[in-house]
């Protein structure tokens, strides 16, 4: 076992378990960053037995609380002093319009603002060669950066849960491109991954049409391991060493074009997010 540190958010979820298993098997001291640590502990014990890596542990984090994100980052920095892999895997598709203690729509906080803050806080302890992977989605083209509505309500106009989710995934994608440029000289890579349509709880809407959509999409729905495969590759494979600022699907780089890599609101998104997280960066 080596002394390198890997963090997987939402590590007790379906894809999170696969990502955690992979980095643990690779010998990393692995931190399962989970919303409910007590529930995640049993899965942690399971992974220790399966991988033979005793250096897997659970540390609580609530991405809907920027204070919690800061406390988690402080704990990691104080205990370990370094982070080599950061997998921003956790995500939510809320069943209604919910708000956080910070005044943010919850989907936007969990899927974008929380990971943004966590990443910004941990970069100072990331050595050259460290890797950051952000979980994006195939729905990012549906996203719209309408400010300040995106942060305050999740979307502009009528609330439908898919809009905040799409907006958050567009935001994390643009964050990936922008951050990659800003820290390239540090030797830290940042990439985004679209897992495809995966058989996890997030695709079930708890609505009457669930059985119908399940029937339609079943032929193309991926298993959690299939969904996590590209993320695991970006975290561990030697042949992607140095690859940064890319959007990936099915083990391939997908060229999203200047519409996204030079998005007209990319700088505004960065500036507005910085203003939100500023009290927790100090």
Query: pTM, whole model, 2 decimals?
Result: 0.92
CATH number of 5-281: 3.40.50.720
The pLDDT tens digits for 14-26 are 999 999 999 999 9
The pLDDT tens digits for 110-169 are 999 999 999 999 999 999 999 999 999 999 999 999 999 999 999 999 999 899 999 999
Bridge partners (DSSP) of residue 192 are 134, 247
Task: Please give the DSSP secondary-structure letter assigned to residue 101.
Answer: T
List Cβ<8 Å contacts ≥24 apart for 66-75. 66/102, 66/109, 66/113, 66/114, 66/117, 66/276, 66/277, 66/279, 66/280, 67/101, 67/280, 69/114, 69/117, 69/118, 69/121, 69/280, 70/117, 70/121, 70/280, 72/33, 72/118, 73/118, 73/121, 73/122
Query: Length of the chain in residues, anyone?
Result: 282
The structure tokens listed for 129 are 């060669």
Residue 33 φ/ψ, nearest 5 degrees: -90, 105
Residues 6 or more apart from 223 whose CB is under 8 A from it? 198, 199
Domain chopping of the chain, boundaries: 5-281
């Amino acid at each position: 076992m080596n002394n390198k540190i890997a963090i997987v958010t939402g590590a007790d979820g379906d894809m999170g378990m696969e990502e955690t298993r992979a980095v643990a098997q690779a010998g990393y001291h692995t931190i399962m960053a989970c919303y409910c640590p007590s529930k995640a502990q049993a899965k942690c014990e399971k992974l220790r037995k399966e991988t033979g890596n005793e250096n897997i542990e659970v540390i609580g984090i609530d991405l809907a609380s920027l204070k919690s994100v800061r406390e988690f980052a402080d704990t990691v920095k104080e205990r370990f002093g370094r982070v080599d892999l950061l997998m921003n895997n956790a995500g939510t598709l809320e069943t209604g319009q919910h708000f956080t203690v910070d005044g943010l729509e919850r989907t936007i906080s969990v899927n974008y603002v929380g990971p943004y803050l966590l990443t910004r806080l941990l970069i100072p302890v990331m050595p050259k060669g460290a890797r950051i992977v952000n979980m994006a989605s195939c729905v990012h083209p549906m996203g719209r950066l309408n400010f300040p509505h995106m942060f305050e309500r999740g979307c502009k106009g009528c609330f439908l849960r898919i809009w905040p989710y799409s907006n958050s995934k567009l935001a994390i994608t643009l964050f990936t491109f922008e951050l990659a440029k800003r820290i390239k000289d540090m030797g830290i890579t940042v990439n985004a991954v679209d897992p495809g349509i995966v058989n996890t709880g997030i695709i079930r809407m708890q609505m009457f049409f669930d059985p119908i959509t399940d029937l339609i999409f079943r032929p193309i729905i991926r298993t959690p391991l299939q969904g996590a495969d590209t993320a695991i590759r970006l975290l561990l494979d030697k042949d992607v060493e140095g690859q940064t600022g890319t959007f990936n699907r099915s083990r391939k780089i997908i060229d999203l074009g200047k519409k996204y890599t030079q998005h007209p609101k990319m700088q505004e998104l960065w500036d507005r997010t910085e203003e939100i997280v500023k009290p927790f960066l100090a």
